A and B are shown apart, each in its own frame.
Chain A
Amino acid sequence: MTEKVINDFSITIATVNGSGSQTANVTLLRALFKMGIPVSGKNLFPSNIQGLPTWYTIRVSKDGYIARRDEQEVVVTLNPVSFARDLASVQPGGAFFYADDIKLPIARSDISIYPIPVTQLARAANVSPALRDYIANMVYVGILAHMLGIDMETIKQALSFHFKGKAQAIDSNFSTVKTAADWAAQNLKKNDPYSVMQMDSTSDFVMADGNTAAALGAIYGGLQFAAWYPITPASTLAESLNVFLPQLRKTTDGKQTYAVLQAEDELAAIGMAIGAGWGGLRSMTSTSGPGISLMAEYAGLAYFAEVPVVIWDVQRIGPSTGLPTRTAQGDLTEAYFLSHGDKQNIILLPGSVQECFEFGWKALDLAEHLQAPVFVMSDLDLGMNQWMTKPFEYPDTPLERGKILWEADLEELNGIWSRYKDSDGDGIPFRTVPGNKHPSSAWFGRGTGHDENARYTEDASTWENNMARLKKKYDTARTLVPKPVIETAKGATIGIIAYGSTEPAVEEARVLLKQAGAPKTAFLRLRALPCTAQVHDFIKKYERIYIVEANRDGQLRQILSAVLPDQAPKFRSAYHSDGLPLTAKWVKEAILAQEEK
């Protein structure tokens, strides 16, 4: 046996989708997390309910790296269909576990091979035949627990969490885990170097997914209305609203301060959200790329009629239906320019689960403050996978309701006000909402040309002045959106810009680049569009700017090139999009290849 490798490798589990393996996979992830070892889990699943191959990858990293890796040291397969590919994927020196009823050739001598009697061990479990297939997945949990050294107590904690404390479910699953672990102890001889060991690196973290975080953030942001239409990978965001709103936002007499409505399509969903936003409710919708495409017309209305609304885009790879269960950052230009006519939209770019929570409430504040649609761009990787993340922080600023006039305000103004007048010089007008009983409160919302009092007009200069004010409002947005996170390094000549879920890969790549002797790098993680002043300063400061993104066309580079055309010659792209989260190795190599030119 070669030298031991502790807490620094990747595990991939290959199963058939619909077989219940997700419970087992997440149990492993959580158990490792509870052992204090930094972990990340990526579910690579098909767009299907039952029967197709699916993989789950867990990375354990003593150094705290949580980006996906391509290399797999420990592979488990229960799926004959993917068997050959799974076997080939094991790194030399790695470990390969397989269900022993798969009778296929194994022509590798550079790895450790462990057949496991999954069916037999599952049968030994004392559960009804209907549950046996699900329980079978607990067999590999037990085998890996013994072979890698995962603490049985943390497995029990993970099961207890998953089954919400239900003793019978916990016990039957745990007994299968134990049976399998005992069998491994008696029958398998460890030949590979991979194992885990207790650490203390996760106590400051919780595990959650971005969609749950986004929903919770919105709830703490005073969300009052949400409309949505089912779509992978965004559905769990709205479903999480339905889980947590009743717990957090009912009055003592059980009444709701909110409403969530499943619409007939995405265009209706945003239409409802805009109706509610116009009515003075903190309002949002959540969808993915195909839904954003459908929402285009309404997004333009909200921009032009100046209605607050938040749109979450949990991106998947497109165009068209694309790969509904694979990730990408491919909707950026679409959302930025969404709908016809002159406009740019306000975009927030959460880079972590904790930030999904934070932007969940901030987006509602910004939408009401700016009376505009605010897009929040998450993605499948961030939204649906479990991440270790800093605990959610209670909002540190009060609800921002924007310039809204009620009866008393209008009384003070003697009823004199104009819906679309720039009274404060920031491009943001005042508004009133239905239910206001003051006789001069009402105005007529429209997507057609309008004057300062919301009356229809085709007058040329009125049109142009209104559009100029909207542009000014966008400049005001520039001062309000979240600033980028910047990491400088003394003597750095290269700047890297990235956003969203690629941050872990970029952070790790910077270390790899340093090890490879590349020039020093500074890093800007963009968190919003329009670009704040700090983004301009950063770009101007470095000789070369690498823009890392998970799409084919370098969409952020396109936008930044338009924003700062004189800086564009410095831009270099590191973009890649195959449906999988970027790896640090790929980012490093993409940059290195261009540095060596």
Chain B
Amino acid sequence: MTTPAPTQTNKAGLSKNDYRGLPSTLCQGCGHNSIANQIITVCYDLDIVPEEIMKFSGIGCSSKSPAYFLNRSFGFNGLHGRMSSLATGALFADKSIRAIGISGDGDTASIGMGGFKHMVRRNAPIVYIVENNGVYGLTKGQFSATAEIGLDLKHQGINQYMPVDICMEALTSNATFVARSFAGDAKQVKELLKAALSHHGVAVLDIISPCVTFNNQDNAIHSYTWGKDHEAPLHEISFIPALDEIELQGEFAEGTVREVCMHDGSTVLLKKLEKDYDPTNRANAFQMLESAQLNNWLVTGLLYIDESKPTLTETFNLVDTPLNRLAEPDLRPARETIEKINAMMF
């Protein structure tokens, strides 16, 4: 009789399986699947208990993906472009539960643009991922608002309009964490996700996530080929959890690394590549996005971070107990108050 090999577990005592979702129904090779897999890995690596995450999405291919990770987390696949408001309300239920929202470029940059920007300006504590492929996949290949001018799509013709830059929109709305990545760069996606989950406030992750079915021509800027050829990382990013020791040695020699201290005690290490880049300077971030557009770079990495701003739920001075655990004695004013209230009427 043989004993089965013990399953590997993390510090939460959970196996990788505890973090999985249903099998994906998206296309083979879709960038969204690799992002879902990174979310599974990151949550496992960070020992996050799945019940302490909420998942949100709107409508579209990207918005289906919360079903494909963290089965043991609560989720809500809401309305097209309206994930922002749904999540905003839910964040008040139990402020100890972290939130991950998955949206797409159609969902965020067209129908949901208003809600997106307002969620950002309120610094709602959520990891807001835009799986950006420049095209409407679920309705079969229409241009999205992030499609580049001149993009030629089957049945659609040539796109005549300038694209919306999600990171730029987030920055102008005073986002406190803005990053861009590329689904083909799994390592970077993973480290940025870890940093985003530690962020204090809204973390906008614009991840170029190619649509292999409708917009993966080599010359399209949301394709795997273009991304691989044009990716220009700002830095090499690694995330060190709060209790781990930071060891800077070898390639992380002094002067070549920036340390960003996160609100929860963790650290983001940014190793300098060609040029130094300071992600705590908002003007830098604008300039970088502008240069990227002019020069056809797919700039990736942490564009901007500010850990000092209060989050939406913090601005309310809520009781420590999760609001959704409060019972009648906390919720209904005492009987004797009704007389006082009536006396306040004329």
Contact = CB atoms under 8 A, between A and B. Distances in A.
Interface string B1-30: 000000000000000000000100000000
Contacts of A208: 345-346
Nearest to B312: A261
A54 to B, nearest CB: 22
Interface in A352-380: none
Contacts of A248: 333, 337, 341
Contacts of B50: 442
A273 interface: yes
Contact of A275 (B89, B118, B316, B341): B89
Interface string A267-287: 111111111111111110000
B62 to A, nearest CB: 15
Contact of B77 (A263, A297, A447): A447
Given A398-B328, A433-B93, A442-B75, A272 B86 contact: yes
B61 to A, nearest CB: 14
B54 A434 contact: yes
Contacts, number: 212
B322 interface: yes
Interface string A385-424: 0100001111100110000000000000000000000000
Nearest to B330: A257
A394 B339 CA distance: 9
Contact of B92 (A158, A281, A297): A281
B110 interface: no
Contacts of A278: 76, 86, 89-90, 93
Give the dominant DSSP class at B's interface: mixed
Contacts of B319: 251, 255-257
Given A392-B338, A392-B342, A435-B96, A273 B89 contact: yes
Contacts of B78: 271, 301, 445, 447
B79 A207 contact: no
Nearest to B71: A442
Nearest to B338: A394
B115 A249 contact: no
Contact of B325 (A34, A435, A446): A435
B318 A264 contact: no
Contacts of A261: 88-89
B346 A30 contact: yes
A7 interface: no
Interface string A194-215: 0000000000001110001000
Given A272-B89, A275-B89, A279-B92, A443 B74 contact: yes
Contact of A219 (B82, B97, B317, B333): B333
Nearest to A309: B89
B84 interface: yes
B26 to A, nearest CB: 13
Interface residues of A, number: 78
A276 B93 contact: yes
Contact of A256 (B76, B79, B317, B332): B317
B324 interface: yes
Interface stretch (A116-124, A220-228, A580-588): A220-228
A392 B91 CA distance: 33
Interface string A229-262: 0000000000000001000110100111111010
Given A435-B96, A437-B51, A271 B346 contact: no
A501 interface: no
B87 interface: yes
6 contacts: A206-B345, A220-B333, A222-B332, A280-B324, A399-B332, A441-B74
Given A220-B338, A270-B85, A278-B90, 19 more contacts: A30-B346, A206-B342, A224-B92, A224-B331, A255-B318, A263-B118, A265-B114, A268-B88, A268-B115, A272-B88, A274-B86, A275-B87, A276-B93, A282-B331, A297-B82, A392-B338, A434-B74, A435-B97, A444-B66
